[in-house]
């Protein structure tokens, strides 16, 4: 039974700490949001001083999310979404994109940050035909995540698992792969996996900024090579164009010359 009160690593076990920078709040700062503290702004500015491209990465990630959810709803017929590592509410959250296109869509958000929990209400404005839920849980305990999500999602029906900029929080690559496998194993044929993450080996400035960030006291984030990111899709049918810079994943018609950025993503179908 998933019980945040007794599960270490959930928001229920942590207080909002405004003295140490936090991933979700810095990310919110880069996305142009207001849900962050001076310490996050400071860490965010120190990062952009070394690597200004992070703002493009954060915003391009959200655009990738919008395009993958749109594909999942309109072309793959998906109506259930499990979005783990949700982050603070911003424009075009998963349920807004999905329910705009298919009001009956059901979405479960999962995060373990107390500040995200405090703002979760903004994620819960569902259409009457659909449903949204927020689960305070830790991706490192996938079975608990699935058990809690099953109160809203029917795992006998195809479901899209969304892992956007969270897997880098799992330092060990084998552990990250195991988490993804255990989550996908619980979903039926026709389910999909969407992963996007910061990539190593593309831009030295990104790696330098990330090393500095990881020493700042924030929960470290580990960039992965494109091959490592691609390995999360092992055993699944990777859809065209494969794992590419998120800017180049089925770009909008008006984004012809999308730049290569150090954020790779892909979408795959479970056979
Ligand atoms: C960089 S933000 C990404 C937000 C959003 N998915 C996006 O791509 O715009 C990473 C999120 O993962 C969450 N997170 C980090 N470690 C986690 C864990 N072990 N379990 C659940 N969520 C976690 C953080 O709290 C944060 O909200």
Residues 201-214 pLDDT 10s: 999 999 999 988 88
pLDDT digits (tens, 9 = 90+) for 115-134: 889 888 888 889 999 999 99
Distance 103 CA to ligand 1 centre (A): 26
pLDDT band at 248 (very low <50, low <70, confident <90, very high): very high
* Cβ within 8 Å of residue 120, ≥6 positions away: 89, 109, 134
Tally the C-alpha atoms within 13 A of residue 221's C-alpha that lie toward its C-beta.
Answer: 26
In the predicted structure, residue 3 carries a pLDDT above the cut 50: no
* pLDDT category of residue 80 using cuts at 50, 70 and 90: very high
208-224: b (≥16 Cβ within 10 Å) or e: ebbeebeeeebeebbbb
Residue nearest to atom 20 of ligand 1 (CA): 138
pTM: 0.94
For residue 2, is pLDDT > 70?
no
**Are 249 and 241 in contact, with CB atoms under 8 Å apart?**
yes
Residue 1 pLDDT: 36
Residues with CB under 6 A from ligand 1: 23-24, 27, 61-62, 85-87, 111-113, 116, 138-140, 164-166, 169
Q: How far is the CA of 163 from the centre of ligand 1 (A)?
A: 9
Strands 244-245 and 263-269: antiparallel
- 176's CB contacts (< 8 A; 6+ apart) are 167, 170, 232
Query: Band of the pLDDT at 263, cuts 50, 70, 90?
Result: very high
Distance 190 CA to ligand 1 centre (A): 25
- How far, in Å, from the CA of 109 to the mean position of ligand 1? 11
pLDDT at 104: 98
* pLDDT surpasses 70 at 87: yes
- The 3-state DSSP class for residue 161 equals strand
């Amino acid at each position: 039974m998933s019980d945040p009160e007794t599960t270490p690593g959930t928001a229920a076990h942590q207080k909002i700490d405004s003295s140490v920078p936090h991933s979700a709040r810095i990310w919110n700062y880069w996305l142009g949001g207001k849900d962050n503290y001076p310490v996050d702004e400071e860490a965010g500015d120190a990062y952009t001083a070394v690597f200004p491209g992070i703002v493009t990465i954060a915003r391009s990630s959200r655009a990738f999310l919008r395009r993958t959810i749109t594909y999942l709803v309109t072309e793959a017929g998906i109506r259930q979404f499990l979005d783990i590592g949700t982050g603070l509410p911003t424009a075009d959250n998963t349920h807004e994109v999905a329910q705009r296109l298919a009001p009956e869509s059901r979405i479960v958000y999962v995060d373990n940050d107390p500040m995200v929990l405090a703002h979760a209400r903004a994620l819960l404005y569902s259409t009457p035909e659909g449903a949204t839920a927020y689960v305070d849980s830790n991706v490192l305990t996938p079975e608990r995540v699935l058990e809690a999500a099953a109160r809203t999602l029917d795992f006998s029906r195809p479901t899209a698992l969304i892992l956007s900029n969270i897997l880098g929080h799992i330092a060990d690559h084998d552990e990250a792969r195991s988490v993804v496998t255990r989550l996908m194993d619980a979903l039926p044929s026709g389910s999909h996996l969407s992963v996007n993450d910061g990539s190593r080996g593309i831009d030295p400035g990104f790696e330098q900024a990330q090393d500095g960030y990881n020493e700042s006291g924030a929960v470290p984030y580990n960039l992965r090579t494109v091959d490592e990111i691609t390995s999360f899709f092992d055993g699944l049918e990777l859809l065209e164009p494969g794992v590419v810079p998120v800017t180049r994943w089925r770009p909008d018609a008006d984004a012809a010359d999308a730049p290569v950025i150090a954020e790779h993503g892909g979408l795959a179908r479970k056979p």
